[in-house]
Structure 1
Amino acid sequence: MEKILPIGEYIEKGINSLEQNLSFLWSAIDDGISWLVENMNDLFLAIPFVIILALIAFIAYYVKAGNKMFTLSGLKKAYGLTIFVILGLLLIYAMGYWEEAIQTTTLVIVSTIIALILGIPFGIWSAKSNTADTVIRPILDFMQTMPAFVYLIPAIFFFSVGNTPGVIATVIFSLPPSVRLTNLGIRNVPGDVIEAGRAFGANENQILYKIQLPLAMPTILAGINQVILLALSMVVIASMVGAKGLGSIVYQGIQQNDIAKGFESGLGIVVLAMILDRITQSIGSKK
């Protein structure tokens, strides 16, 4: 069937124009993300496994036990998560995928930080302006429903292969929840609380930072949790453009029809996802 409206061709011409006219920008982004990912990898891998294990176990215990961390009730509340974290990380180490797990975690951390830096301000803007919300909402719908593989095409075009296109594709895929839930959290702040703040002389910035954001924080933290899980779900797809980590091992297992390698690396991703999910949920439940 003959095309009547070749939208894809127009998009391709636009991408070609962006690549040619803003090559300095893409190069700077590539250098910055590559530097950040590589240095974080080197830093984490330079720390002995036992120290990282103890640190993450302590974080898990602290966020679960809270102010009762030195009491028997705090121990009862937090020991389950702490033991799970220890056993999960020991399992990854015993399977021989600790280095890949660190690489995956680094990609998730960098992608999450970028997604939150972009997403939370847009969420605040959407909550403050119905016009902005009307414009941003369909863009988020597009980002969430477009197949993730499609993001890899322009990412490769702008940044070649490596960690950078994987991070960029992951950011695009995982950003919408931070915008939506920040918007939702701020909009759900009771109007009478805001009016009380205005009655006491608070300006708009004070209302935002001292009233709306603190009250919206549980919802915002739920958005952060979703961003992290979506970023982890992208690690296998990101490996197709050269991103390192457990996803690349899964991809190798698919290519080589190696069930053992694919299952072990996939299990490692599941364990990482569960650990990050439980820790971030515990942080959110404390707010």
Structure 2
Amino acid sequence: MLQDKNAGLSISGGMSRRLDQKSFNLSAGEPYGEENDHFYLDIFPDSKESEFAHVGSYTHLRLRARSQVPRTFRETLIGQLAEESNIRASAEPRKGIVFLNGSFYMLAELEPTFSDSLLAHRFDLPDTDHIKKKKGKESSVFRKLDVTDIFSADMTQKENRDVLEQTADMDDYLLEYAFNILTNNLDWPYNNVEAWHWTGDYDPQRPFTDGRLRFVIFDSDKAFNADPELEGGFGTDNLTNIMENIHIGRDSAFPNIMKAKTYSDKFFTILSDLMNTSFQTDHVVDLIRESYAQVQEDVKSYYTE
């Protein structure tokens, strides 16, 4: 792709920058000339069917290195499971192979930005001008959206639950937690939480214009961890981290939400449904095997070159 375009290439990531194989940001736009204003790709599921032009074109893409063994292709698996779990707000990456200066460099995942255009497409929103999004740790996201007091109110009181449900899509919130807990995502919710809501007029024909908060699943390369030594010994049970407000679960509003029986019952129903459908063990193993089959000829290069 970069052979055919004048585009920007930079190293991406924080702690991952110290690893041998780097993640890269690909940048198009004004600095690279009018003919290079976007990357035009139709390899992502939404790009061929959206009324929003920018779903098929991008100013930024990320090539995520899979050098953090054994995290190879976890984002792709997360994308598949999110789709099967009826999570609309999750961009599905595409597996790829990166060659640098003509030589094999790494296995990677090409990841689109979950842009306002993609959000508008997924949720049938009229435009992209009335979408408000915030990203970060959950407590800071709620503070920026001015909903901290609503999520921390006494959930045993019906009037407080009524206000909460007018503010946030609680089915979506509980699904976000069930999904990330089942995948044991160790980089959430003290990081990588993104919430959005529609700020324009409500259209009864478009249910997601109701103005309530909903959540995006992203940056899940630290999911599916089972090493008891990982993260200082906190790596095997993120549900405990969250319920005890420790480690990556600190400052989560979830324990307070669970004080309401109506929410705890609904959460465990969602959890059970996922475990018996998209997260059924044999099915997840089949998805992993299918993913590996697509790149197995190149895996040797991943470890030897």
More helix by share: 1
Q: TM-score range by the shorter chain?
A: under 0.3
More strand by share: 2
Q: TM-score, normalised by structure 1?
A: 0.22
Larger Rg: 1
Higher relative contact order (CA 8 A, sep 6+): 1
